[in-house]
Amino acid sequence: MTRRVCVLGHPIRHSLSPALHNRWIAARGLDARYDAIDPGDADGFRAFVEGRLRTEFVGANVTLPFKTLALALADTASDRARAIGAANLLTVTADGNLRADNTDGPGFRAALTDALGDRPLGRVRIVGAGGAAPAIIWACQKLEASRIEIANRTAEKAIVLASRFDIDAISFEQIADDLEAVDVLVNTTALGLPGSPPFPLDPSTMRPGSLVCDIVPSAHPTPLLLAARASNLTVLDGLPMLVHQAIPSFTAWFGGSPPDAEAAIAFLRGAS
């Protein structure tokens, strides 16, 4: 019988995950299929997870805005999913239980490690305290950042996350201050994307070789990444993170050795 997996989100039609996973499924010769499914709202998500997911699927990825609810609905959860407070991976176990995991955190950690090489992470400044931020903070803590700062337009959200992870909240007005002392800048907001205001920071005063990251999973560089590249900074977009969160998802459902990350990133650069 064809094993089914899917990604659940709203909206979901632009997701690159089906192309990525179906390519791996074909390469391994599996009788399986990965679909993008939009359950509409939280009630639709809950109904799908409690019903069809458990009976018709071996698992799912979960994306915005359902990652917190996915963790709450699961029967068991990994330590890292609980620490991050969100699940992007659900697996239906042999005994019919639903297990939650978070591979966004490890995905960002792997992407950062590849981008940095042997360099230590150093001082990190994260802009945005929305749904993506906890996994980013988790990864930076695992990589032993010397200092992690978070800023958000709505300051309260940054303060809550800073207290939860024991990092430093700074005001949104301070995001361009002391940039020469920041080793890694991470934009987790939609600022700079088409339809959103520009990202309000010029990275040109960062030290050469510092890392600028925009976690949007697209091959089209954002204005922030273009500016960073023009200033000889190292840049990281969201495609490596996407691939590195997908690999442990694939392994959780189908077992076996992980697919080749570099080839997958190159494939998505061509497809997106």
- Active-site option among 6, 49, 67, 105: 67
Question: What is the x/- site pattern for ligand ATR, positions 191-230, by CB under 6 A?
Answer: x-----x---------------------------------
80-88, 109-117, 188-196, 240-248 -> range binding ligand ATR (CB under 6 A): 188-196
CA–CA distance, 20 with 5 (Å, rounded to integer): 13
129 lies in the site for ligand ATR, by CB under 6 A: yes
Known catalytic membership, residue 67: yes
154 lies in the site for ligand ATR, by CB under 6 A: yes
Q: Contact at 8 Å (CB) between 175 and 125?
A: yes
Closer of 216 and 246 to ligand ATR (Cβ): 216
CB of 146 to ligand ATR, least distance (A): 24
Which residues in 15-74 contact ligand ATR (CB under 6 A)? Answer: 65
- CA angle (12 as vertex; 11, 17 as ends), nearest 5: 155
Computed on alpha carbons and rounded to an integer, the radius of gyration of the chain in Å comes to: 18
| DSSP H or E segment with residue 224 | helix 223-230
**Interface residue list for ligand ATR (CB under 6 A):** 65, 128-131, 152-154, 157, 189-191, 197
Q: Which residues are catalytic?
A: 67
